[in-house]
Amino acid sequence: MPDKKNAFYAQSGGVTAVINASACGVIETARKHRDKIGRVYAGRNGIIGALTEDMIDTNKETAATIAALRHTPGGAFGSARYKLKGLDVNRAEYERLIEVFRAHNIGYFFYNGGGDSADTCFKVSQLSKKMNVPIQAIHVPKTVDNDLPITDTCPGFGSVAKYVAVSTREAALDVESMARTSTKVFVLEVMGRHAGWIAAAGGLAGNGRGEAPHIILFPEIPFDQRAFLKRVAETVRDHEYCVIVVSEGAAWPDGRFLADAGRTDAFGHKQLGGVAQIIAQGRRRTGAGRGKLGHAGHYPQVRSPVSLEDRNCAAEPGCEPGEEDAEALHNQGRLWHHSGLPPLPRTADRRRGLSSIRRRPAQIRPAEKYPGRQKAENQFCAMIAR
Amino acid sequence: MPDKKNAFYAQSGGVTAVINASACGVIETARKHRDKIGRVYAGRNGIIGALTEDMIDTNKETAATIAALRHTPGGAFGSARYKLKGLDVNRAEYERLIEVFRAHNIGYFFYNGGGDSADTCFKVSQLSKKMNVPIQAIHVPKTVDNDLPITDTCPGFGSVAKYVAVSTREAALDVESMARTSTKVFVLEVMGRHAGWIAAAGGLAGNGRGEAPHIILFPEIPFDQRAFLKRVAETVRDHEYCVIVVSEGAAWPDGRFLADAGRTDAFGHKQLGGVAQIIAQGRRRTGAGRGKLGHAGHYPQVRSPVSLEDRNCAAEPGCEPGEEDAEALHNQGRLWHHSGLPPLPRTADRRRGLSSIRRRPAQIRPAEKYPGRQKAENQFCAMIAR
């Protein structure tokens, strides 16, 4: 029988509509296996809580309180934008982490975040072996963009997809109502830095040819201004109005984002925005009729409305605690909800991200000709519907 | 017994979440008074439908179809951004309208829109008397900004208020979750060109001192950059984060909007936007910590979520058909849902709007010191809650 160890859970990066549902799933699953897992500690403000030994003992909470996490907005224990650097750059920080884990008899490390969190799991796993402090590092996926490697559907995405599909439909109905005398071209800018899944979700707003959205701009297809403006003009001529969903990551053929503001965030990612405005200005120059910009808004996209399917998905464990070999688990596909873990070593440069995405060319055509659309619909529909 | 006349209904301007509920209210009420009102025609694409005799005979629709209008998004019959000019400038257009009404035996004109529609009602009413074609022109209010004269609560506003209050709360929870290592200042830009009701709705997100939103910027109070930045810094110091709700109409002391792009729409109104960005740039220059901008997004604000109270309010008639004297009705307060009609002659210049708003100074203080807040909460709470 394995040594009974405690677990540590932390949230990382921007919170999603369902990140606390994942916390709920981790804690409730641990409670079902009290023979193997002792206490579950949660880091206050994410990984910072481990580095500073500022942890919450979730065992002191009632079952009802833990169950309520499924419906709790925000990040229940606090999240953090804090990326541990490479082992060669700041080995001391990893060693501190492992020392804290050893001090609190922590043998399971659940890290709820995106690609950077998966990377941290991998490094902790590597170092803990070297330090002879066996820690099973489990990455719990969380990324609205739905672009984590080896992960087929990412908790958080379903709610964003639902929001974008509904917003596209609503905006289209409004624009259609007034196209005769007012706005003819409506541009909805949505999230998705390198992956077009969120933009693709806008495609669920319509079915038949001629229904909005008429054009979807993906990050995976280089922007062709001439073809784009031609299509806009044709759509306005044929249908009186044109609705465009554009990913914030839409880019020129040379890879520059349509609106690269030149700023980077704490993770070194470029800060985007304003793509819709550039597109609309380009359109105005052609005199193709009145236009209007709509930003779906970052916060509404992340938070409202929650997809029940997404919430359930976020709380669904794919692995059982106490399993020894995470790599074997990965190969068996018995992981925390479809997550590939331990993650592949990952270099976060843009080209790598793009090239991995370009292997999926079927996803990146304009809406009407989008051959993968039916497949995507099947995949999304449960999330969108509930 | 009065002559039995038909009615004409048209939608005007941007559609709201509940504009079709108003259409439902008009048509259902008319059907209850078949002794006085014959058919109800709806204009296709708003008033354009009257000018071009492109009208829909709603009597051909079943009761179930009409009832479904309460829940129908978009503008069911089409709306229009088309402002009839002054009688002196384009009298022919009004005469055409009245000729069409005469041709179809229309004695009731329901015009569902904002201040400009009310103005059109007034002119039609004036001219119809002169032309000896008695038409009772009824303005059915619709304005998300809640700023129509003589109107205490405007259908459409409740849904926007609910959306803004919920979004402010959600964004605040997210920002609070991560303030230690990430965004400390969050700016939510909301609609409201000259009236701060929508921004005020953000104030419902919090209750106690220290709860978000910490600052609300109203169009009615000139922007004081120095005091504002001081308050932001204090709030971050005391609470670790600061949430600001800013009206798109927030302006410098000389009356310029913080982000006046210099463009105007078909109604001659200035196109706004980008206020949050200016404020955040100002804040960054002071080095008060990391910030983030959030646009509530025009379309989500207008459409999602619908407030049930707002929907019911939109469909509630305040006057009975067949009453002869609209002015007397107005004086008795027996009007289409609290609407003041016929409207006062209205000059749409900004100063007039501002001065009329400045008569309500209690509504325009920063959130925490806002003495009218309890009253506003009482007024909004039914809308927000449902």
**For residue A276, which of A262, A297, A255 has the smallest C-alpha distance?**
A297
Read off the pLDDT of residues B209-236 as tens digits, 9 standing for 90 and up. Answer: 789 999 999 988 998 888 888 888 888 8
Instruction: Output the six-digit token pair for B333.
Output: 């307060």
Higher pLDDT, residue A340 or A90? A90
pLDDT score recorded for residue A59: 93
Chain B nearest-CA distance from A271, in A, is 11
Contact B296 A294 (CB under 8 A): no
Query: Which residue of chain B comes nearest to A274, CA vs CA?
Result: B274
Share of chain A above pLDDT 70, in %: 68
B19 pLDDT band, cuts 50/70/90, is very high
Phi/psi of residue A364, each to 5°? -120, 30
> What is the arithmetic mean of pLDDT over B14-42?
92
Pick A177's closest partner by Cβ from B15, B304, B305.
Answer: B15
Contact A78 B180 (CB under 8 A): yes
Supply the Cα-derived Rg of chain A in whole angstroms.
22
Query: Which residue of chain A comes nearest to B299, CA vs CA?
Result: A171
Read off the pLDDT of residues B350-381 as tens digits, 9 standing for 90 and up. Answer: 322 222 222 222 222 223 333 333 343 444 44
Contact B341/B118 with Cβ under 8 angstroms?
yes
A30 pLDDT band, cuts 50/70/90, is very high
Contact A160/A300 with Cβ under 8 angstroms?
no
Chain B nearest-CA distance from A23, in A, is 14
Phi/psi of residue B8, each to 5°? -125, 130
Q: List all residues 6 or more positions away from B359 whose beta carbon is below 8 Å from its beta carbon.
A: none
> Measured between CB atoms, does B46 come within 8 Å of chain A?
yes
Q: What strands lie across the sheet with A136-141, from one edge to the other? A: A55-57, A37-43, A5-11, A106-113, A136-141
Contact A181 B82 (CB under 8 A): yes
User: Under DSSP, is residue B81 helix (H, G, I), strand (E, B) or coil?
Assistant: coil
Given the DSSP bridges, would you call strands A215-217 and A5-11 parallel, antiparallel or unpaired?
A: unpaired
Q: List all residues 6 or more positions away from A97 whose beta carbon is below 8 Å from its beta carbon.
A: A47, A50, A51, A84, A124
Read off the pLDDT of residues A352-364 as tens digits, 9 standing for 90 and up. Answer: 222 222 222 222 2
Contact B196/B146 with Cβ under 8 angstroms?
no
Q: Rounded CA gap, A214 and A383, in Å?
A: 22
Q: Where are the beta strands (DSSP E) in B193-344?
A: 215-217, 242-247, 291-295
Name the one residue in this structure whose structure tokens are 């070194």.
A268
User: Under DSSP, is residue B46 helix (H, G, I), strand (E, B) or coil?
Assistant: coil
Q: Which of A116, A145, A147, A310 does the annotation list as catalytic?
A: A145
Q: Rounded CA gap, B171 and A311, in Å?
A: 19
Query: Which residue of chain B comes nearest to A177, CA vs CA?
Result: B78
Higher pLDDT, residue A132 or A328? A132
Sign of CA dihedral B210, B212, B217, B218: negative
Chain A environment of B173 (Cβ under 8 Å):
73-74
Contact B184/B236 with Cβ under 8 angstroms?
yes
Q: Rounded CA gap, A312 and A318, in Å?
A: 12
Contact A75 B174 (CB under 8 A): yes
Residue A145 appears among annotated catalytic residues: yes
Q: Rounded CA gap, A220 and A196, in Å?
A: 7
Instruction: Output the six-digit token pair for B115.
Output: 């201040």
A345 pLDDT band, cuts 50/70/90, is very low
Amino acid identity of B51? L
Interface of B with A in 141-170 (CB under 8 A): 166-167, 169-170
Pick A80's closest partner by Cβ from B82, B173, B178.
Answer: B178
- Written in H, E and C, the secondary structure of B2-31 is CCCEEEEEEECCCCCCCHHHHHHHHHHHHH
Read off the pLDDT of residues B255-301 as tens digits, 9 standing for 90 and up. Answer: 888 766 555 444 444 444 455 556 556 655 544 455 555 555 555 55
Contact A166 B304 (CB under 8 A): yes
Contact A182 B303 (CB under 8 A): no
Mutate to test the interface with A, among B164, B174, B188, B265 (most CBs of A within 10 A): B174
Q: Rounded CA gap, B224 and B227, in Å?
A: 6
Q: Say if residue A99 is exposed, middle or buried (CB neighbours under 10 Å; 0-12, 13-18, 19+).
A: middle
> Measured between CB atoms, does B184 come within 8 Å of chain A?
no
Q: Where are the beta strands (DSSP E) in chain B?
A: 5-11, 37-43, 55-57, 106-113, 136-141, 185-190, 215-217, 242-247, 291-295
